A and B are shown apart, each in its own frame.
Chain A
Amino acid sequence: MGTESREKEISHDEFDPIGTLALIAVYFLILVVMWIVMWYAEFLDGGPTVVG
């Protein structure tokens, strides 16, 4: 099972997780957009709605 083919050692100080930051920024945007879409579907698309 030793499939870790390590090409090099990267220490803590040499490592900036820029790929992680990029992925998580995309996730953040998806969340905000989807939240707004749900909000629209629920409260603004007509039909009966709860008021109290």
Chain B
Amino acid sequence: MEIHKYEKAWLVGALVLIFFFIGTIAYVSAVVGVDMVDDSGGALDVDEVSEDERFADPRVEQVGEDEYEVYMIAQQFIFRPGTHDTVDVPENSEVTFYVTSIDVIHGFQLVGTNVNTMVIPGQVAEITVEFDEPGEHGIICNEYCGDAHADMEGLLVVHPEDEWEEMQGGDG
């Protein structure tokens, strides 16, 4: 089989491109440390969500000095917490979200960021995020989940450190 010399050159170029892409992705994964959502959150039967100690009382919980965990339920058409009350965390924190669904498939994304996962009934999505700066982030469901899907939103607030301390004090 004869291949023209220019076409051979392009074949090499195409392979270089492919390895370059795979290489940068592997680098982000292994060195930068951006892991994919995986099975680490475990499976959880839809009927047992309300008995699971993480989701019986969906909440934000401090688990280390700058470490927090958020247990969240996505359901038609709200995030608990998130929609009726904000999700509050301090700046310079590392927050792990555990999100599960009690009905259909939903999405969970902090708008315009790479904090994004599917929420599938029967599975717990686990995703860890660094918040270095204070600010507000909209939470949206980005997977069609029924007629009022477009209304499914919430808010996450990253508080400046002083404000956070005040809030904690206030809660006493």
Contact = CB atoms under 8 A, between A and B. Distances in A.
Interface of A: 16-18, 20-21, 24-25, 28, 31-32, 35, 39, 42-43, 46-52
**What is the size category of the interface that chain B forms with chain A?**
20 to 34
Given A21-B6, A28-B13, A32-B17, A49 B127 contact: no
Closest 6 CB pairs of A and B: A52-B128, A52-B35, A21-B6, A48-B131, A51-B128, A48-B129
A20 B5 CA distance: 12
B113 A47 contact: yes
B10 A43 contact: no
Nearest to A21: B6
A16 B132 CA distance: 55
Given A48-B115, A49-B115, A18 B34 contact: no
Interface of B: 4, 6-7, 9-10, 13, 17, 20-21, 24, 28, 32-35, 94, 96, 110, 112-116, 127-133, 137, 158
Contact of A51 (B17, B20, B35, B110): B35
Contacts of A47: 112-113, 133
B104 to A, nearest CB: 24
Given A16-B6, A18-B6, A21-B6, A50 B17 contact: no
Contacts of B35: 50-52
B130 A51 contact: yes
Nearest to A22: B6
A50 B133 contact: no
Nearest to A36: B24
A49 B28 contact: no
Given A31-B17, A35-B21, A35-B24, A49 B130 contact: yes
